[in-house]
Amino acid sequence: MEHTDQTENFDENKNTKDGEALHEQVAVAGLYENWFLEYASYVILERAVPAVEDGLKPVQRRILHALNEMDDGRFNKVANVIGQTMQYHPHGDASINEALVNMGQKDLLFDCQGNWGDIRTGDSAAAARYIEVRLSKFAQDVVFNPQTTEWQLSYDGRKKEPITLPVKFPLLLAQGVEGIAVGLATKIMPHNFIELIEASIDILKNKNVEIYPDFLTGGLIDVSNYNDGMRGGKIRVRAKIEELDKKTLVIKEIPFSNTTTSLIESIIKANDAGKIKIKKVIDNTAKDVEIQVQLAPGTSPDVTIDALYAFTDCEVSISPNACVIIGDKPHFVGVSEILKVCTQQTLQLLEQELEIRKGELLERLLFSSLEKIFIENKIYRDIENCETFEEVVSTVDKGLEPYKPQFYREIVEEDLLRLLEIRIKRISKYDSFKADELMIKLQEELNEVNDNLANLVRYAIDYYKTLLKKYGKGRERKTEIRNFNTITAAVVAAANQKLYVDREGGFIGYGLKKDEYVMDCSDIDDIIVFRKDGSCVVTKIQDKVFVGKDIIYCSVFKKNDDRKVYNLVYFDAKSGTSYIKRFKITAVTRDRVYDLTAGNPKSKILYFTANDNGEAEVIQVNLTASCTARVKQFEYDFKGLLIKGRDSMGNVLTKYPVRKITLKSAGVSTLGGLDIWYDPTIGRLNRDEHGKYLGNFEAKDHILVIYHDGQYELTNFELTNRYEPKEIAVLTKFVPESIITAVYFDGGSKLYYVKRFKIETTTVDKKFLFISDEKGSKLHFASVDLYPRIDLSFKKDEKGASVEHEEIALDEIAEVRGWKALGTKLTLHKVQAIKALEPKVVEIVSEEISEETNTETSTEPSQTKLVEPEEIEFPESSDTGTGEQLGLF
C-alpha cells in the first residue's frame, strides 16, 4: 500500500527540465469510441455497401469515372486504368484490380480483351499489364452525363470525382453485390437484364412486380423463400444434371458461388466419405461446362442425382441480405423497393436531361432569331459611325428593341457581344432560307421535348424499350426457376456401412464385424431395435452402441413409412393373457424406449414379424399340454386384425399358457396398392396428393412416359424417379390395352403423319423411338385418349394468305397398327398449327323394350354413341389415363 502511494506521489510530482509539472490527462476510452465509430462509418459508406443511386461501391464508381476520362474508343491496358483510378481511390492497386476484374467478368459495363479468367472454372485473370478494357456502349449510354452529375473533390483535393453517377438503369440489381462492413453485411443477388427492364416498365404502369435472381453460371433456382431479397430469405441453387446413360451423369451448369473445381472436389469428398458411390469424375469443361460423373455398377442414376444434391455442392443455399446506402445511412430494403427507387431516379434523370435539352434548344432558337434580325435588318451598319465600344453595344441593343417582346427571356449584354463577334464573311454569305429551315427543325425538336416533358412516363417507357431493343439480345434468363423437392438424406445416402448385431449382449453397430450381419446401411441411418421384453428403441447408427439385451429384431428405421406393419403376440405377466396386435411406427423420439406390451414387468414377446408391405400371415398357436383348454392347437389369421398404434393393448389371443407359435402360411399385403401422384412443377412422383393423380399401383404396374422427341418409356413407380417436365409430353399409368395416338412431322418426306399403336415392348427403363428417325422429324401431338381430336390450321395454296381450320377426329383417319408403323398421312397442305381439342367421349346407351303387360331388357347389343365434348362434363382424371393429351407446334 505504501509502495503504491509513493509511486503515485512520484508520478504526480515528476518535473520536466524546466521544472514545470505535467498534469495533462487524456480520456482514452472516449477516443477509442469515437475512432471506432468513425472507422465503422468509413468502412460502411466508403468501402463495403453500395449507394442506391447508382448501385456502385466507391472503388467501382472511381474505376468507371477513370475509364470515362480515358475513353477514346480504343482499349486501355488494365494497368493504366488502375494507375488512373489511383488518382481518386486512396487504396492500393490490388483492390482496384480485383474490383475491375470482377466488374469485367459480369459482362455488362466493360468490353474486355485478353484472359479475364472464368467464373465457371475459377481461373483467375492474367496480370493487369496483359489484359485490356474499355467502356461498353451500354455503359456510355446509361451511366454517364456530366450535366446531371454531382461532383466532389478527390481525397487529395486535386481532382473532381462524382458523388454518384447518374445511372439510368437498375445497375445494382443487374450486377449484384457482396460486401462485409463493421457490424453489417450486404448480399444482393444479380438479376436478369431483360426482366429488370420489363419490371421497370411495369412499375411505371403502376403494376406490382416480382423479380428473381439470375446467374451467369446458369443452373436451377428455387425462389419460394426468396423474401424479396431481404434478411431472413433463402434461395436454393442447383447444378443442372442430366442422365447421359444408365452409367453416366453429366453436369452441364453449376450453381452460383461455385466453380467446376470446387464442385468436383465436393463430389470426390462425398464419395470418399461413402455418401455417394461413383467410379470416376471427368472434367471436360471447355466452351461449355461438362463434368461427367461415371457411376459405380448397380447404382441408380436417379438416386445418385438426389445424393449429389444432398451431399455435395451441386445444391447450395444462399441467404440474401439487401443492404444499401440511402441518404448516407445503411438501410435494409427489398429488391422490389430498390427497383422502384432506381426507376424513379431514372425518371428524374430523364426529366433533367429533357430540361437541359429544352434550355439548349431555346438558346439556339433565341440566338438564331437574333442573328436573323441583326443581319436581315442590317443593324450592323448602324454601328459604323459609333466611336466607342459602349456606343456600339448601345446601338445594337436599340436596333433590337422592337423585337424583344417575342423572345422567351430578356436580352442581356452577352447576347449583344455574341452578335458583335459575327464575322463579315459570314454576314455576306448569310442564307435566310437555310436559317429558317434550321429554326424550323429546332422548333420541331423543342416541341418534341415539350411533349416528352408533358408525358414523362411514356417517354421513360420508350427509353426502357429502346434499351431492351439495343442491348437485350443474348441476355435472356440463364438460371431456370423451379420448385425443388426436399431430399431426405437418409433415403439417398449410399449404403457405405454394414449393420451387425450382438443379440444376447445387446449391442448393434457397424464395428461388430465378428457378430451377426443384418443388412447394408449408411452412416447417417437410424436403427430400430425390438427386444424380447416387449420394448423398442430407435437410435443413430454408430460403430458400437448398447441398446438392451435379448434383441429379437433390428433394421434401418424409415420415418413416416406407413407401409411397414409389425405383427406381434406378447404375454402379459400380470393377467397371464396372450395378446395379439398389428401396428405401425412412423415417428419416434430418438433413444426413447417404448413399451409395446401392457406395461407390466416380466411380460415378453412370443411372436414377431416386420412386414414391409403390410403382409398378414397365418400363425399356428400351440398351448401347453397341461392347460385346461379343450382345443390346444388352433390357427389365427392376422388379416382379421385392424392396424392400430404402437400403444394399443391388442386383442386377446388366448387366456391359456402358450407353448409355441409358428408360421402356418405367408400372407399377402392387406394395404392394397399405392396411390401415386405426379407433380409436374418438380418432375417427381409422390404420395402426398401433390399434382396430378395417376392411379393406384400394384407391384406389377408401370408408368408410361411419352417424350417430346418422339420416344416412349416404361418406368417403375419408385418415388426416387426423376422426370424432366420440359421433355415430357404425356405421363400416365400404363394400361396394356391403351392406345397411343400421335401426330408427327417426318423429316424425310416433309409430311405430317397420324399413327395409333399399342405398347408392345416390355423392357422397363429403356426408351423406344416411335416416330421417324429422319433428321428434322418432330412430334407435335400425343394422347392416350380413346377418341382424340385436333384443330388443324393449314393453307391450301402456298401463295394464298388465308388460313383454314379443320377439326379432325384422329381415331377416324388412322387404324391401330404396330409401334414401328409409319402411320397415315394427315394432310398434303401446308400446316400452320396443330391444336389439341377435348376428346370425344363414349356413352353406353342400353335400350329397353316396354310393353303393356311386361318390360324386358333387350337382347340387342348396347349402342355406342359419340358425344361432342360440349355436351358433357369431363372428369379431371382417370385411372385408365384418359384425359392425357398434348398439343405442340
Read off the pLDDT of each residue in 177-191 and give the average, rounded to a whole number: 87
Read off the pLDDT of each residue in 86-100 and give the average, rounded to a whole number: 91
Q: Looking at the predicted structure, is the pLDDT value of residue 23 above 70?
A: no
Percent of the chain residues topping a pLDDT of 70:
89
Read off the pLDDT of each residue in 556-564 and give the average, rounded to a whole number: 89
Q: Looking at the predicted structure, is the pLDDT value of residue 96 above 80?
A: yes
Read off the pLDDT of each residue in 26-33 and give the average, rounded to a whole number: 64
Q: Are 705 and 713 in contact (CB under 8 A)?
A: yes
Using alpha carbons, list the distances in angstroms from residue 702 to 397, 690, 699, 763. Answer: 99, 19, 8, 11
The model's pLDDT over 442-454, given as tens digits with 9 standing for 90+, comes to 999 999 999 999 9
**Band of pLDDT at residue 667, cut at 50, 70 and 90:** confident
- The gap from C-alpha 831 to its chain's centroid, in whole angstroms, comes to 37
**CA nearest to 141, candidates 164, 163, 165:** 165
Percent of the chain residues topping a pLDDT of 90:
60
pLDDT at site 265 = 95
The model's pLDDT over 211-241, given as tens digits with 9 standing for 90+, comes to 999 999 999 999 999 999 998 899 999 999 9
pLDDT at site 258 = 93
pLDDT at site 884 = 40
Q: Looking at the predicted structure, is the pLDDT value of residue 141 above 80?
A: yes
**Band of pLDDT at residue 184, cut at 50, 70 and 90:** confident
Using alpha carbons, list the distances in angstroms from residue 529 to 296, 563, 668, 714. Answer: 31, 18, 24, 38
CA distance from start to end of the chain: 98
DSSP assignment string, 394-461: HHHHHHHGGGGGGSSS---HHHHHHHHT--HHHHHT--HHHHHHHHHHHHHHHHHHHHHHHTHHHHHH
Grid cell, residue 708, equals 417430346
Check residues 314 and 413 and name the one with the higher pLDDT: 314
The model's pLDDT over 749-772, given as tens digits with 9 standing for 90+, comes to 999 999 999 999 989 989 999 999
Q: Looking at the predicted structure, is the pLDDT value of residue 412 above 50?
A: yes
**Band of pLDDT at residue 166, cut at 50, 70 and 90:** very high
| H or E element at residue 691 | none
Read off the pLDDT of each residue in 652-676 and give the average, rounded to a whole number: 90
**Band of pLDDT at residue 246, cut at 50, 70 and 90:** confident
Check residues 239 and 384 and name the one with the higher pLDDT: 239
Q: Looking at the predicted structure, is the pLDDT value of residue 654 above 60?
A: yes
Q: Give catalytic status of residue 130 as yes or no.
A: yes
pLDDT at site 886 = 42
**CA nearest to 296, candidates 282, 279, 274:** 279
**Band of pLDDT at residue 6, cut at 50, 70 and 90:** very low
Pairing of strands 643-644, 578-583: parallel
Residue 566 β-bridge partners: 583, 610
Q: Looking at the predicted structure, is the pLDDT value of residue 45 above 80?
A: no
Q: Looking at the predicted structure, is the pLDDT value of residue 858 above 70?
A: no
Q: Looking at the predicted structure, is the pLDDT value of residue 806 above 50?
A: yes
Residue 14, classified by CB atoms within 10 Å of its CB into exposed (0-12), middle (13-18) or buried (19+), is exposed
The model's pLDDT over 497-552, given as tens digits with 9 standing for 90+, comes to 899 999 989 999 999 999 999 998 888 899 999 999 999 999 999 999 999 999 99
Check residues 449 and 855 and name the one with the higher pLDDT: 449
**Band of pLDDT at residue 796, cut at 50, 70 and 90:** confident
Residues 32, 39, 42, 130: which is the catalytic one? Answer: 130
Read off the pLDDT of each residue in 333-357 and give the average, rounded to a whole number: 94
Q: Looking at the predicted structure, is the pLDDT value of residue 873 above 50?
A: no
**Band of pLDDT at residue 672, cut at 50, 70 and 90:** confident
Read off the pLDDT of each residue in 445-469 and give the average, rounded to a whole number: 95
Q: Looking at the predicted structure, is the pLDDT value of residue 142 above 80?
A: yes
The residue written with cell numbers 477513370 in the block is 66
Q: Looking at the predicted structure, is the pLDDT value of residue 71 above 90?
A: yes
The model's pLDDT over 347-383, given as tens digits with 9 standing for 90+, comes to 999 999 999 999 999 999 988 888 888 888 888 888 8
pLDDT at site 91 = 83
Q: Looking at the predicted structure, is the pLDDT value of residue 804 above 90?
A: no
**Band of pLDDT at residue 722, cut at 50, 70 and 90:** confident
